[in-house]
Amino acid sequence: MSATSPEIGRRIVAGGIDTNYHDVGAVSGNDLPVLLVHGSGPGVTAWANWRLVLPELGKTRRAIAPDMVGFGYTERPAGIEYGVDGWVNHAVGLLDALGIEQTDLIGNSFGGAIALALAIRHPQRVRKLVLMGSVGVPFEITPELDAVWGYEPSLAAMRSLLDIFAHDRSLVNDELAELRYQASIRPGFQESFSAMFPAPRQRWVDAMASAEADIKAIKHPTLVIHGRDDRVIPLANSLTLNRWIEDSQLHVFGRCGHWVQIEHNRDFNLLVSNFLAG
């Protein structure tokens, strides 16, 4: 893919890691920036995850979306051990590198677990929290998440994963499957992805969960979002988060799988923008 790809944004050294990130919208005004943390699908990038969200948030906010270490076009340091500690440190390192003292924070799926852990460990760095289809609480791994994390590159495998992600099958076509398959086999992509979540994969669900007492101690206003028909991450996760976080609200989208920000893009953007502005 050429350097003109929309998936390639700006570069900055964050926590010692050469990081690819997108930085759009207003850089002045009273509103805090918003940091968006992507999910963990094969071949994922911040742009693939947030391409329909960044332009809208950027109309009123400074919106920042990095490729987390191990994903996309961010450096993959030799010998790195992937885990919550490293991903949280990478996100905080990005805030430090950009001179951002406090941010609103949006996490999708895997990114929800990172956002949750960041808010717990560095509460002063976060104002409001949005968790969408989030990992980060204990649950029994679904066969679908096991398939996502166990992906072995092939066009057929990618097509079956896309069918899992989307409730609306019209969003999944051969062209999209080919694009995401090609993304998953770029140099270094599958090597780091397969190193993150080797079987048995329940241990990685457990490793990404924050302690119940720590989640219950969260004081940040929190918006919890889930697709009712999500087959990858159970809706029960978001019910738990809504129950454990005192200052939280829950919005469940019907006829929606694991891609709320894509399947219900307009409503997602409105919901999140209003919550952050409120």
Backbone angles phi, psi at 5, to 5 degrees: -60, 140
**Closest among 92, 65, 83 to 10, alpha carbons compared:** 65
- Out of 40, 134, 230, 238, the active site residue is 230
Cα separation, 173 vs 164, whole angstroms: 13
The 3-state DSSP class for residue 217 equals coil
- Angle at Cα 149 formed by Cα 146 and Cα 152, nearest 5°? 105
Q: E-strand spans in 9-125?
A: 10-14, 17-25, 34-37, 62-66, 103-108
Residue 90 designated active-site: no
Element at 127 (helix H, strand E): strand 126-132
- Out of 22, 167, 251, 258, the active site residue is 258
Residue 109 designated active-site: yes
Cα separation, 253 vs 255, whole angstroms: 7
- Out of 40, 109, 184, 248, the active site residue is 109
Backbone angles phi, psi at 15, to 5 degrees: 60, 35
| Six token digits for residue 182 | 């090609």
Positions marked catalytic: 109, 230, 258
